[in-house]
Structure formats: C-alpha cells, structure tokens
Chains A and B, each alone.
Chain A
Amino acid sequence: MEDVGEKLVQVVIALAIFAAIIALIMLLVDRAPKTFRDKATIIGFLAPAVVLLAIGLIWPAIQTTYLAFTDRNGSPNGMDNFVWMFTQPEALVTLRNTLLWVVLVPLMSTGIGLAYAVFIDRARGEKALKALVFMPMAISMVGAGVIWKFMYTYRGAEREQIGLLNQILVWFGGEPKQFLLDAPENTFFLIAVMVWIQTGFAMVILSAAIKGIPTEIVEAARLDGANGRQQFFSITVPSIRGALIVVVTTITIGTLKVFDIVRTMTAGNFETSVVANEMYTQAFRASEPGRGAALALILFLMVLPIVLYNARQLKKQREIR
C-alpha cells in the first residue's frame, strides 16, 4: 500500500510540474511583444510537443538507424546485417512469412468483412450479428493467441483431444494434426487468428460507410436496371472507396507490425517467425542488437509507403466530395 501512496504522490507532482510549465509558456507568450505575438503563440504551444517527439521518437529512430550498421559489439560493420537478412535461410523465411501475412490478412479481413457487412445490411438482428463479429476486436492479441493455441492444441491420437479443431478432425474420422508445428501451413493457421481479429474492424467501418451511401443513389441504380452484383461493383464499392482504402491500409500496417500472436503461439519457431518477432528475438534473445535494428529499419521502410499512400488517397477523396 505504501508503494501505491508513493506512486500517487509522484503522479500529482508530475501533473503539477506539467501545469507549471504550461502556465509559464502561456505567460511568456502573453508577455511577448505585439509584433512577435502570433509567432510566439505558435512556437510556445508547438515546442513542448516537438521536444517530446524528438526525445521519444526522432532520437531513437536516428539511434536505431545507426545501430543497424553495427555488429554485436557495437562497432560499425557496414551492410553486414542487411546481407545476413537477405541471404540467411532463417532470415529469409521471416521475410517470406511477413510478405504472406501482409498480403493475406488485409485481403481476407477486408473481403470477409465487406461481404458480411453487405449481407447483414438491414437484416433482422443486424446489431447482434455485428457485435458477434466485432467482439474479437476487444480481445488483446496476446489473449487471442492464447485462445487459439487452445483451439489448435494437439494430443496424440490415442489420447482424448482438448483442442476443438483436432476434436472435430477426430469426429470426422481423421488423424489429429500438429497445427502449429507443421511448416509451412502453420503460418496460415497463425494468419487465421489475425484475420479473425481484423474482420470485425473491417466490417464495422465498411458497414458504416455502406449506410452512408444516399438511398436515392441506390434507388437510381435499381431503376437503371442494375442487379445486385452490378449495384455492388458499380455503386457500393466506388462509393465506399475511401473507407476501403483506410481499412486495407490500417490492417496492412497493423499486420506488418504483428508480434504478439506469433510470440504467444509459436515464439517464431517452426518457420513461423515474422519481422517484428525476429527483431525482438535478435535484439533481446540472441544479443544481436545490430540485426534487430536492421530489421526494425526494414519494417519502417515497408510501412512508410503505405502511410504516404493512405494520406494521398484521403486528400484525393476529399476532392471528389
């Protein structure tokens, strides 16, 4: 209990310091000479955020970049870490897996989410049906990993199965399967967990976008003779294009960074590792901070174009409306 009390006092002190700094900045801005006041206001309010960002984000980024070109003793080693990444079989598996994740998860989550959103639109019990699919979003990825590990659990054929999927296999007269051990399909079983989580996200956003399509436009399309399929491809999809792009890119970014699922379910063993997991393993398990940093850098370079594309598309969408 004493510990908690101490922490509370610390929080209060921190907040007081924060308030004092803000008050000081405001005071200084207010006292600034008139000709300079607009600029002073902007700088005064921007500076704290910029400083914090610099300490918390920009400096570490620079450091990581430097680290990526050093060996395990911290001395520069040129491109060695990248050479390792693109030549060693175990590192190449990691890159291949990440590619599989990045292609499959956004495609399947968005596809299934969109289909689901369209089918349940204005159906009876729509809210309950939506909640059902959205629920996994509320579970942490670690939690989801643990849950699905149970789903995939393997027991020898002679013993009672406790994993649901293996039990179903047995019921249908099959042999129990080592879902998480047998490469390369085990990667797909991990991907299924991520799809399970992200489908709800895609469905909710796309469903809201579909509801935003003006009724008259849909009616006009019906009168123009479009059947269900034509309405979907000529009206629905173009109308929710902005939401689709946001969903696909958001899921892609989330997938590139995927770590928890792999960590909890296989720890990256059995050829299931992905870049984020390998980054952690190299930096903190294998004492190869240089390799970890190089992987982090690659991850960043992979995310960057998607973020830029996303921003540009959003701007374009605004021009249509």
Chain B
Amino acid sequence: MLERLAAFAEKFTGPAELRWHANHSVAAAIRKGALVENSQSRASGISARVFENGVFGFAAFAEEDDAALTKAMETARSDAGFMKGRSATPRELARPQAIGEGRFDYRSPRPAATPKERVEILKVLDEAARAKYPELVNVDLSLSAHTSEKALATFEGARAYSYVPRAVLSVRMSLEANDGLVELYDARGGFGEIQDQDFSLAALSSWLDGLHEELRRKAEGGQCEAGEHDVVLDSDLAGILAHEAIGHTCEGDLVLAGSIAGDNLGARVASEKITLGDYAGRGPDGKSTFAIHVDDEGAVCRDVTIIENGVLRGFLHSRRTAAELGAEVTGNARAFSFLDEPLVRMRNTAILPGKDRLEDMIAAVDHGYYFKRATNGQADLTSEFMFGVSLGYEIRKGKLARGVRDTTISGTAFDMLKTVTHVGDSFKWSGAGNWCGKKQPIAVGTGGPAIKCRIRVGGRA
C-alpha cells in the first residue's frame, strides 16, 4: 500500500498527505458470569488532506483502490477551495525539520490469541474471582486489544508504515457497603498484543487479591473532606496530571485559542523539582504503553521538554501551529482513524523522576491524602484541571489511615505545581495505557513518579 500511496503523492503540487489507516480491535467482556461482548473489528480506508489557500481539505473513503485515491484527492482539493478567502490563517505550513521514513512494526512474533483463548482468559479469572470473593455484588472483566496500522506518503516525501498494538485486561469489582455500593477498577497489560501479555490466573492472582483488599478498605472508609489539602499523588495520578494539567494547556492549537500557557513561555510555572515532557518513540525509558516515530503529517517525532526544572520551555506542534507560533514542528499531529484529520495530540507525556522516597512523602504529611488511582480527567485553557480519583487513603500524622471513597481533585496547574515539595525516585507508566478525547479518541502514554503537593479535593465531609 505504501508504494501505491507514494506514487499518488507524487501528483500533489503543494502540502498534502495520503494515508491508509486500519484499526484492528477485539473486545470480550464477562459480566457476572455472562459473556456480554465477544467481537472482532476492522475498520480501514484511505484519506487525503491538502492545504490550499490557507484551508485544509480532507476526504476519506472506505474503498482502497486507485479510483478511491483519486476521488479522495479531488474531493479534498475541492473542499479546500470551497471556502476560499475565509481562512483562519492564510500562512504557509511549517516544514518539518526531518521528514519521516521507515517501518515501525511492533507486530507480535507469537501466534495471535484465538477467540477461544481470549474467552478462556476471562472465564478463568471470572470463576476464580467469584469463587474467592463471594461477597462481591459484581465482577466485570473485559479484554480488549487495539492496533493502529497505517501507511503515510506526503508531498514533502515522507514514506512511513507503522503497526502499534496495545492489549488491556480490566476488572471492576462492586461491593455493598453500609451506605451503598462501592466499586474499584484497575487494568493490566499495555504495549503489545494479547499474546504478548501474561493474563493467566497465576500471574494475576495476587493483583486480584490486592484489588479486593483495597476495595474492602475503601468500603470501610469514608468521604474526603472538601477543601485544599497536602496530598501524595502516586505515579498513576502524576502521569494523568502531566497529561491533563500541563500537556493539554501546552498543545499548540490551545495556545492559539488563548491558553494561559501562551503568556508564560520562559516563566517559572512549577517547582524546580519538576521536569515534564512529551516524548517520542516509547518514551525516555523505552517502556511506554504507546509508540510513535512519525506523525500523521510526515514529521519525525521528537521529544518536547515542556517544563524544565520548573520553567515552561516548549509547546506541542503540528505544521500549522508551528508556523503560526514561529516554532519548530514537533511531530504531534495525530489522527485516530482513516476518517479523521490529524490534530495536535500528546504522545507519551510524563514527569521525570526525582530523588525522594514515597515513604518520606507520606511521612511529611500531617493531615492529608494519598491518592493511588485516577479515572477520567479534563483540562482548561486557564490551566485549571480536574481528575477523578477511585482509590486513596487518608494520611494522619505521617501514616496511612482509612480508605476514602471516590472523589475529584482539581487545581490550577501553574499554581499547584509550585507547591510540589517532593518528586519520587521511582518512575512508572500509568496502568495499561490511556485514551485521550479531543474531537477524536487517541491512545496515549502517561507516566511519572509519585509527587507531594497541595491540591483541592472534593468531598462531602
């Protein structure tokens, strides 16, 4: 396919891309012993995007033959011309420093997991969990895999192919507490295909035991006190903090839309202990849950240091936002499916580790919380952020105390990060990988060490 795209890309006369993109996925789920999902999906097609008169035209079709490619190119050009003269930015696009070429194929060398093996994984874990923890109101188990496979050819000469898989096993347990239902969710897996992961009962038994115990403590626990508190955020939350609180605020399109980050480049926005970036490949340690080498505009992805020792240093760019803000293209333009145009998106966003120990952070809190696991999150142009917390504990006089129920934490990132007093020495990528929603869903990696800071906590107490 890449050769065909390349031949057609030669016909362009200005900035343009041709992309073939296939999303492969499997999904299986057991709910209270019943198999409620058991499917396999493939969605593929071709797209063309051209930039003319300061406007992008984009067209996509499910067919993949030469006629469809020709139609996509013609439709994209026609669309770009339809609102000629009403461009938001009548400027040239920035040219990538390096044009992407190569194959980045993370296909598993092992035989693909069969449908029977997929269902068996869930069945074994479900039976074990329900037998071992009979007091649970419910156990939900799901197994999902998603692979993004694409070929890209651009007017500027990019020629790239990639195959990037991720597989996730998740579990949700529900328990009846004295005052209503309490539940807890967690996931395992990450980069690679199902056959690359060990989802056996032997491998996951202690994880399920730990989850059950934490659910029990959560059910016995209470509500958080609403207000601002000293907290220790475990690495799972630090990764989401990097993504929601800082990453979104520093996306080039949001900077153009008025993000407060645009006024703070070069300014101190965080404690000196904070260095945070958005990383290409599989991140600084090569172990993230997601991989990217060439973006969907054909730019070689490069690491972006967003905050360096507390100072705001850079933003994430597509060719368009780089041109408008006079910056270099960073390789952050990504599309979810063949139907979607590239947008400025994060890749592997993380806070780099420091030198502090988790025990010391907890010991340094007199009255606060230790939050371990996040749910959803949102960002804002003001750098105000929030994310849900599904697992945490009170800290009283430097020691962990009772569990707490679901809550939400929030703050203004450029204020809150200045309150960071400790940055942990142990780095982890969050869970089995995350998804980000911004017009389109997209797979991202988030990671970090534990940090101690002061943050606003929601609660009914």
A binds B: no
Interface residues of B (CB under 8 A from A): none
